[in-house]
């Protein structure tokens, strides 16, 4: 299929677009890759449906955009170190990514994003919600925008993946390597997006610990305001998965949240994460 037949259809007012008329199992022409990269920068997350992919094809699709980042904390799919398993079994009650967050903000150079591919989904539920941090930033007052542009925030993986993390027994065999969770990173609270050049709010409830130079207590009210603001429904979209669905999101432009509403059922996703670039 050529780039002419491909269509990028926004799925909500602020974030997300479905890409139709494309078969991502085969190598894509450079022009198509460039179009998809620009669309990712514009919409924050791209959705593809009804794609039958082997593990090797998932990897080949991802590698057209950036180098693969091997995740330190998630268990890999057997025989495929590049692919992390996001799995919830019927008897497990907690899920991975069940609160608003941005992956890898605790890294100095945060991952570009992930390509999450659905292999098994529950009969209903198990959606993923995405929020646009472009829209969240744009909707702030000029006064608060100016204040935030002078501030940086500290992000950490310790409280989530580290040895001190309050992790239910449930997640033990799905996450590991807690000793490696020692990163902290400082990033501007507003970043200029590397693809689109647009400004994005860059703090998240999952990994941001405090504002640089402020105490945790002092930081709380402002961060809490931003977390509630960013979660406003008009900045979000909700994706309902089927086997063969793929979501390709940009961590620098979005937050995401995996809805945990399918107790008693299995959900199995394969995730590839891509290396990012320095942000400022
Ligand atoms: O399972 C999902 O829908 C997303 C989980 C998540 O947060 C992630 O893979 O980064
Ligand atoms: Fe995540």
pLDDT tens-digit profile, the chain (280 residues): 454 589 999 999 999 999 999 999 999 999 999 999 999 999 999 999 999 999 999 999 999 999 999 987 889 999 999 999 999 999 999 999 999 999 999 999 999 999 999 999 999 999 999 999 999 999 999 999 999 999 999 999 877 666 566 555 566 566 666 666 667 899 999 999 999 999 999 999 999 999 999 999 999 999 999 999 999 999 999 999 999 999 999 999 999 999 999 999 999 999 999 999 999 9
What's the pLDDT score for residue 32?
97
The β-bridge partners of 76 are 84
Q: Which residues are in the CB-under-5-Å shell of ion ligand 2?
A: 97, 103
Decide if 210 is catalytic. no
**For ligand 1, which residues put their CB under 6 angstroms from it?**
86, 96-97, 103, 114, 116, 128, 256, 258, 269, 271
What's the pLDDT score for residue 174?
60
On whether the CB atoms of residues 82 and 272 are closer than 8 A, the answer is yes
Decide if 256 is catalytic. yes
Domain boundaries, the chain: 3-274
On whether the CB atoms of residues 208 and 166 are closer than 8 A, the answer is no
Instruction: Mention every residue, 6+ apart, whose C-beta is less than 8 A from residue 55.
Output: 77, 79, 80, 83, 270
Q: For the domain with range 3-274, which CATH number is right: 3.40.50.300, 1.10.287.80, 3.40.50.720, 3.60.130.10? A: 3.60.130.10
Single pTM value for the model: 0.94
């Amino acid at each position: 299929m050529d780039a002419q037949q491909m269509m990028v259809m926004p799925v909500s007012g602020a974030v997300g677009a479905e890409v139709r008329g494309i078969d991502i199992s085969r190598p894509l022409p450079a022009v198509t890759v460039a179009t998809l990269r620009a669309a990712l920068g514009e919409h924050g997350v791209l959705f593809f449906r009804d794609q039958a992919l082997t593990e090797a094809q998932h990897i080949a699709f991802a590698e057209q955009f950036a180098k693969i980042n091997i995740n330190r904390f998630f268990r890999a799919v057997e025989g495929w170190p590049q692919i992390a398993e996001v799995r919830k079994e019927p008897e497990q009650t907690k899920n991975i990514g069940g609160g608003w967050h941005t992956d890898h903000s605790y890294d100095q150079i945060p991952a570009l994003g992930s390509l999450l591919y659905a292999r098994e989904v529950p009969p209903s539920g198990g959606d993923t919600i995405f929020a646009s941090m472009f829209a969240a930033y744009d909707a702030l007052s000029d006064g608060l925008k100016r204040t935030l542009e002078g501030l940086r925030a500290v992000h950490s993986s310790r409280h989530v993946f580290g040895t001190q993390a309050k992790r239910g027994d449930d997640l033990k065999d799905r996450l590991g390597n807690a000793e490696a969770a020692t990163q902290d990173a400082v990033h501007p609270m507003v970043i200029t997006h590397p693809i689109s050049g647009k400004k994005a709010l860059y703090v998240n409830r999952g990994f941001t610990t405090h504002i640089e130079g402020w105490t945790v207590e002092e930081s709380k009210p402002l961060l809490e305001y931003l977390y509630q603001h960013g979660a406003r429904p008009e900045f979000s979209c909700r994706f309902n998965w089927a086997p063969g669905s793929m979501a390709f999101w940009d961590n620098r432009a979005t937050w995401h949240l995996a809805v945990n509403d399918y107790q008693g059922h299995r959900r199995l996703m394969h995730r590839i994460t891509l290396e990012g670039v320095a942000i400022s």
